[in-house]
Structure 1
Amino acid sequence: MDEERPRTVLFMLATRRGIRPHTAFSEEYARVAQALRSEGYKVAPPPGSRHYERLLTVGGVKTAPHAPTTRVLERMFQRPIGDLLRSAADEPSDERQGSTWAPSPSVLSESEMLMTARDAASHAGEAAALRLDDLTLDQLDDELLALARGYGSKAPAEVFGEAHGLLQRAQVDLERTRAPEQHTRLYYAAARASALLAAVSFDLGALAPAVSFARTAAQYGKTIDHGPAQAYAYGMLAFMAFWDGRPSESVRLAKTAQQFGGLGDTARRRLFAIEARAHGHLRADDQAQRAIRAALEQTSGHRDELHDDIGGEFGFDAARTAMSHATTCLLLRDPAHAEEFATKALTLLGNRPQDEVPIVVSGPAAIDLARARLMRGEVEGAQEALNPVFEVAPGWRGSGMMERLIAARIELTRPEFRGAPAALALAEQIEEFSALSPARRLGAQSPLALEA
């Protein structure tokens, strides 16, 4: 084997200096060559990897390297080239175990000191290069914060593009740093970007990508043991499970999410609301009502950074809670409480400036109010509730709105509405409005409609 062949003094010294690999040797060779070049000497490029390996083996080269190469090697190791190519076994034992810098350790030249200084500077530079500027991570965090808080103010397609770009930046930066605390920040950023991609994919009616992004967010959260990030992702998986017609799986996922550590009231309120919806799909009235009460009882004052401090799409305020409970009550065929919760949601949203009202909450709440009124036979009241919804631009018509509108459309097929001009006109409006939604163009279907 090659490692069993006699090695040269050059091999011994390079090993002690920590530059045995060809790449490390070439880097130091280049630094010394540059110093000699600045002194007016002619130097050659570093030996290739094969030539270098021959220099490390006794008898590997028949003649000494040419002067431009020899000059650099002798400066690097402070030995004549003849000594460097001798067998290391011929070195006196004290030389084999002693300093690699010079035959006499007591003699230290300025050139050697400069070489040591350059080595130290190079190592420090390499270490610094393995850490990103913290301002880079601050900028990524700021953009994720703005996107989460502005989620309801941007069209889904725009959110998808921005979130995708932020996820890619986090992934690239993870490869550029070796600092543990920066890895933690970047995995957390990747978890948030993936979660936003899951949410917007669902809004666009693309369930398979939404599920995949939610699982990705959960994995990133698991990597850094971030309870709130994992809970949010599992909550999304639970939400998408009942939307996909698997309410029992949804209940299991929601309960799993509730077990993660570090959750504040907002996170727990959201998870109980999702669990209530799942029970609603199962027509499990008692369990649904119990989950609704649990959601409303989350008032301990506990907070977490994701759901409370960042908030936005990660938040779950009183308006969103009421909107979700309205949908649960509709699943239980309880129009009175559905109207109560939907009205509460719209009232809370009405107290905000118009540009701060998220369509992803106001739209579904208005549709739930309309559907509750249709359950009581009030077509005119339903039309009034839906008028603001019909003004929503096509790019904003996400799955959350579409699934509710289709369910409302099915309410209009009840016998008492057949032939009624107002009911027919409203049904046509719903069909025309739904046809232009991104979710419909992507082929999304609504289990809620099937259960209506």
Structure 2
Amino acid sequence: MAARRALRFTAMAEGSSIGSETLGQINDEVRRLTAAYPKLALPTLLGDLVEVQDLTFQLLEHGRVKPSQARELYLLAGITSGMLAKASHDLGNPSAAMMQARTAFVCADNADHHAMRAWVRSLQSLISYWAGRPGEAADYAALGQGAVGDVRGTTSVWLACLSARAHSLLGNGEATRTAIRQVEEARATVEPDDLDAFGGIMTFPLPRQLYYVAEATVQLGEDAALGESQSEAAVSAYRDATEDEWAFGDQAGAQTDLALARIARGEIEGAAEAVRPVLDLPVEQRNFGIVSSAQRVHAALHGAGRRSSGGAAAGLRQEIEAFTATPTSALVR
């Protein structure tokens, strides 16, 4: 709270013209938040995100901003709005998430930042995917890929991964496999850009790529053994990830994908072992994506022939029901 107050005081003290100290402090705060978002529970970050977005909006609306400062400030406002879009998504509100994402895209346009435009399209694809609209998710991924052009940062990898996941949910095997090939091609030509330099939520590291590809393969359902091996690779990558690569939500997603792959192979006890770390997460980390992933495991246990799996399946279903009954959104009003 004291740091937030200091940031606002600096902005006020420099007057209606934005000074270097104000812009520098906002930049530092946005970088702190982008690095923290994948690692910390949302309730600990939400107040700071709202504060920074409000401050950037006020400065853009009422401050005297030089053109070079305006471009940087619009980029910072876009990144903050993008994180708040992700926050709304994590709280299970896709409408608010998409509203924030559209604001982020307007900011990217005003900053004339090509990579940021592509990053927001990625975010819109993610929101649509988890909202149960895979066709829309595929369309947003295609929009982003069509606009990538000279973008060589890791956003290009994210877009291809999103395309693979969306098409797998649509049951389009050929499009899924094509997108997975595009993932490998994009990774091979990556040149980190200024968005990657922010780190955290603004970059797309290899463990996250492995998780998305595994999820696409598992959802497509054509090769359960391949889905299991890819999921194991993703889980292992998160186990060995550096601090900059680790994200509790994506790690949980990899664990649930491994559980789904094992259920498809009839290995209920193995599935229970895979999903155990997810079910042990505290309420403040049970965001919408994690809860939805756990519900997929619950639905798979009800699949054809799973009712005869005995007490292990029934017990696991009960645990998942208890886990999903109290999501993170219950803590935020």
Match of 1:120 in 2: none
Tell me the amino acid that sits aligned with residue 370 of structure 1: A
1:232-311 equivalences in 2 (<5 Å): 232-258=119-145, 259-298=147-186, 299-306=188-195, 308-311=196-199
Please identify the structure whose Cα radius of gyration is greater: 1
- The residue number in structure 2 matching 1:151 is 37
Kindly state the Cα deviation for residue 322 of structure 1 after the two structures are TM-superposed: 0.9
- TM-score by length of structure 1 reads 0.66
For 2:233, the equivalent position in structure 1 comes to 344
Distance 1:138 1:271, change over 3 A: same
C-alpha contact (below 8 Å) 1:346/1:365 kept by paired residues: yes
CA offset digits 1:351-381 (Å, max 9, x no partner) = 2368973211111111111111011110110
Name the counterpart of 1:359: 248
How far has the Cα of 1:129 moved from its partner? 5.0
Give RMSD over aligned pairs: 2.0
> Do 1:130 and 1:179's aligned partners in 2 also have CA atoms closer than 8 Å?
no
TM-score, normalised via structure 2 length:
0.89
Specify the alignment match of 1:434 in structure 2.
324
Alpha-carbon spacing, 1:261–1:135, altered in 2? closer, same or farther (3 Å): farther
Look up the match of 2:267.
378
Deviation at 1:246, TM superposition (A): 2.9
CA displacement, residues 301-339 of structure 1 (integer Å, 9 cap, x when unaligned): 422211x21121111111101111121112211322222
- Give the Cα–Cα distance (whole angstroms) in 2 for the partners of residues 222 and 407 of structure 1: 37
Unaligned stretches of 5+ residues in structure 1: 1-127, 443-452
Asked whether 1:395 is paired with 2:273, we answer no
Residue 30 of structure 2 corresponds to residue 141 of structure 1: no
Residue 131 (structure 1) aligned to one of 4, 17, 20: 17
SS of aligned partner of 1:154: coil
Distance 2:285 2:261 in 1: 23
What letter corresponds to residue 135 of structure 1 in structure 2?
E
Alignment coverage as a number of residue pairs: 314
More helix by share: 2
Question: What is the identity, as a one-letter code, of the residue corresponding to 2:104?
Answer: A
Specify which of 171, 177, 182 is matched with residue 64 of structure 2. Answer: 177
Higher alpha-carbon deviation: 241-250 or 211-220: 241-250
Compared with structure 1, are the counterparts of its residues 253 and 186 closer, same or farther at alpha carbon in structure 2 (3 Å cutoff)? same
Using CA pairs under 8 Å that are at least 6 residues apart, name the structure with larger relative contact order, 1 or 2.
Answer: 2
CA pair 301-323 structure 1, distance change in 2 beyond 3 A: closer
Q: 1:260 to 1:222 in 2, by over 3 A?
A: farther
Cα pair 1:148 1:312 within 8 Å, conserved: yes
Task: For residue 18 of structure 2, give the secondary structure of its aligned residue in structure 1.
Answer: coil
Q: Are 1:425 and 2:315 counterparts?
A: yes
**Counterpart in 2 of 1:83?**
none
Moved more, 296-305 or 278-287: 296-305
Paired-residue identity, %: 29
Contact 1:159 1:200 in 2 (8 A): no
SS in 1 for 2:45: helix
Change (3 A) 1:265 1:297: farther
Runs (4+) of structure 1 moved beyond 3 Å?
A: 352-357, 439-442
Shift of 1:416: 2.8
In the aligned structure 2, how far is the partner of 1:161 from the partner of 1:271? 29
- Contact between 1:153 and 1:355, CA under 8 Å: does it hold in 2? no
